[in-house]
């Protein structure tokens, strides 16, 4: 009997009871089961109390050495499903991914410690892996035009994806927050949108422009002719959309015009354009749903030289003084 697997299942039940998002749950489950397999197959560990700091350090060295999907190399099911055929098979695992693995394993070990399943937390004293900061490109006006023109808005699913993309760019909401809204959450008169299913579990308002309001009104009228779903952006069957469906649509239309546009990138671009157009950090932080201005600044202070130059020209003393 593998007691590590049993505790992973119990931990996942605990995560479910705390209302963690499906995306977070998938991340925890995948990370912990890969770690468990390493512990059992490479270190012959079957009990949580057997896991020591050196095993965790050795695991990260192993992942770095094997590369992407390398941990699946000896798995018969994985061989059948073909991760070896992926173009990125065996490539270096990024420090950002490793930092996510470390955070997930640490959360599991904290749970084991607080539940008194282990006497000492093996993650204590292990130096944190620093994630790599990737500067998300600011899409130009021309690139955004190309992306939005690639959608055929005469078709239900493409009109829906087009509206979703524009709403993220105009309001800065997260994709997971947006797909769960219902018509009653929209205030067209005041250009406001109530988000209930937020990352922080706290409801908040975001706002949209008059242009977006006209787009949204058109979508709502169109939607009523084709579905009686409770959701503003329903699936073809009327259920709440899956985030991965939206991501796939963005990926498809990005390829059509030679770009790489992702939902979170549009949220990032909203924040950058908001600041470039003279918006302030405090208001931006509230719109984005961050815990503090410092969190917002850490996430969006990655302007490149060209973007800083644009912001400077808008706020230059000589440009704005009659001297």
Provide the residue-wise pLDDT of the chain in tens; the chain has 323 residues: 799 999 999 999 999 998 888 888 999 999 999 999 999 999 999 999 999 999 999 999 999 998 765 554 454 444 444 445 545 556 788 898 999 999 999 999 999 999 999 999 999 999 999 877 666 778 999 999 999 999 999 999 999 999 999 999 999 999 999 999 999 999 999 999 999 988 888 899 999 999 999 999 999 999 999 999 999 999 989 999 999 999 999 999 999 999 999 999 999 999 989 988 888 889 999 999 998 988 888 777 777 777 778 777 777 776 776 67
* Whole-number Å distance between alpha carbons of 30 and 26: 6
Nearest C-alpha neighbor of 75 from the set 45, 25, 27, 34: 34
User: pTM for the whole thing?
Assistant: 0.69
Buried-exposed string 225-257: b where 16+ CB fall within 10 A, e elsewhere: eeeebebbbbbeeeebbebeebeebbeebbeee
Tell me the chain's radius of gyration from C-alpha atoms.
23
CB atoms within 10 A of CB 304: 10
Q: Which long-range contacts (CB under 8 A, 24 or more apart) does 232-236 make?
A: 232/181, 232/182, 232/183, 232/185, 232/186, 233/160, 233/163, 233/164, 233/178, 233/179, 233/181, 236/156, 236/157
Nearest C-alpha neighbor of 162 from the set 225, 246, 235, 256: 246
Give whole-number Cα distances, 53 to 3, 122, 127, 254, 282, in Å. 18, 5, 11, 43, 41
CA atoms within 13 A on the CB side of 151: 22
């Amino acid at each position: 009997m593998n007691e590590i697997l049993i505790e992973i299942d119990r931990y996942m039940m605990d995560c479910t009871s705390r209302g963690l998002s499906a995306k977070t749950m998938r991340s925890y489950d995948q990370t912990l089961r890969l770690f468990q397999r390493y512990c059992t197959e490479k270190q012959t560990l079957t009990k949580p109390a057997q896991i020591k700091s050196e095993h965790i350090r050795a695991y990260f060295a192993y992942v770095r050495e094997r590369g992407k999907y390398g941990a699946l190399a000896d798995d018969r099911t994985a061989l059948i499903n073909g991760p070896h055929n992926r173009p990125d098979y065996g490539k270096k695992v990024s420090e950002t991914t490793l930092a996510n693995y470390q955070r997930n394993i640490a959360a599991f070990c904290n749970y084991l410690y607080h539940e008194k399943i282990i006497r000492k937390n093996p993650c204590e004293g292990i130096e944190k892996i620093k994630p790599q900061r990737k500067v998300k490109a600011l899409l130009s006006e021309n690139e955004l035009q190309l992306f939005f023109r690639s959608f055929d808005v005469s078709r239900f699913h493409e009109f829906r994806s087009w509206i979703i993309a524009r709403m993220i760019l105009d309001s800065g909401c997260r994709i997971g927050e947006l797909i769960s809204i219902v018509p009653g959450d929209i205030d067209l008169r005041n250009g406001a949108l109530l988000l209930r299913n937020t990352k922080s579990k706290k409801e908040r308002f975001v706002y949209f422009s008059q242009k977006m309001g006209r787009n949204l009104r058109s979508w709502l009228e169109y939607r009523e002719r084709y579905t009686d779903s409770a959701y503003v952006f329903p699936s073809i069957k009327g259920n709440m959309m899956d985030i991965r469906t939206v991501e796939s649509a963005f990926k498809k239309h990005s390829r059509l015009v030679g770009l790489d546009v992702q939902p979170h990138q549009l949220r990032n671009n909203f924040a950058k354009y908001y600041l470039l157009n003279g918006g302030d950090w405090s208001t931006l932080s509230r719109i984005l749903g961050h815990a503090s201005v410092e969190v917002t600044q850490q996430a969006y202070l990655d302007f490149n030289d060209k973007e800083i130059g644009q912001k400077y020209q808008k706020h230059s003393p000589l440009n704005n003084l009659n001297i």
